[in-house]
Amino acid sequence: MLINANTAISTSAVLLVPYSKWHVPRYHVWMKDEEIQTATASEPLSLEEEYAMQQSWRHDADKLTFIVCQPLPEPLSKAKQKYAIRESDDSADRMLGDINLFLRVDDGEAGDSSAPQIIGEVELMIAEKHNQRKGFGRASLLTFLRYIVDHEAQILDEFMNGNITSAASSESVARVPKPWRLECLSVKIGQGNGRSLALFEGLGFQKVSEEPNFFGEFELRRVDLGREKVDGELARFGIEGYVEVPYRDEK
């Protein structure tokens, strides 16, 4: 997506930045790990293919992504919104993982005749084991949720007016009622991944079924996307100083 091409998000716990070409070499190293490939249902790519994928994430109207980095050395305040992210702030040694949103138009289960709905599927990865179990995943997810609820209308406008023929038929898209809104956020987690299940369930995602699907995954959904709810969760976990700041152009 283009909506976040020049926007980074700073909090006391993490820094989220647009996925840019200078992040690709580090990301490529992560994705060589077989455990990460299994957890993300990904196939290994060549470096050239990884650069092409980064451009797809940057421009496709149905994908929103940020790279998760360590928080800025000094927290920002709204009084400092003119601060621009420096190269050292999201250098390779400060990268932690990524968080993504896939948007789709869903006609409903089992041929339901109700109006199509817009659903956002979330993917979260904290790549290296020494950075896991430190709260970075929860902080990334809550920061991402805050961005989504603040910019829902713009995100959906880009999605619905973009090239989403792979996500839904034109007939389904035309039937989505206005004003456009996210019906829910969804996540799919392997049945053996207890930590991720606990993380998402602790933040209001509920299992669609008590049994995993054919692929051994649980789908969990969150329907409460209100700003007040998200702000309360940020405060509960001590994540402060949410500020959107300018991010440098990708040349």
With a pLDDT cut of 90, the percent of the chain lying above it is 73
Q: Residues of 138-149 as b/e, b for ≥16 C-beta within 10 angstroms? A: bbbbbbbbbbbb
Examine residue 1 and state whether it is found in any structural domain, yes or no. no
Mean predicted confidence (pLDDT) in 24-46: 89
Least confident of 23-37, 108-122, 127-141, 218-232: 108-122
Q: What pLDDT does 180 receive?
A: 93
Task: Assess whether pLDDT exceeds 70 at residue 78.
Answer: no
Examine residue 2 and state whether it is found in any structural domain, yes or no. no
Task: Assess whether pLDDT exceeds 70 at residue 232.
Answer: yes
Which CATH number do you get for residue 89?
3.40.630.30
Q: Are 124 and 139 in contact (CB under 8 A)?
A: no
- At residue 74 the predicted structure's pLDDT band, cuts being 50, 70 and 90, is confident
Per residue in 148-168, pLDDT (tens digit) is: 999 999 999 999 988 555 444
**Selected residue with higher pLDDT from 184 and 215:** 184
How many angstroms separate the CA atoms of 237 and 233, rounded?
6
Q: Say how many CA atoms lie within 13 Å of 158 toward its Cβ.
A: 18
Examine residue 251 and state whether it is found in any structural domain, yes or no. no
The whole domain housing 75 covers 7-246
Q: What pLDDT does 114 receive?
A: 74
Domain count, the chain: 1
Q: Are 125 and 98 in contact (CB under 8 A)?
A: yes
Examine residue 120 and state whether it is found in any structural domain, yes or no. yes
Q: What pLDDT does 111 receive?
A: 44
pTM: 0.92
**Average pLDDT in the chain:** 90
Examine residue 161 and state whether it is found in any structural domain, yes or no. yes
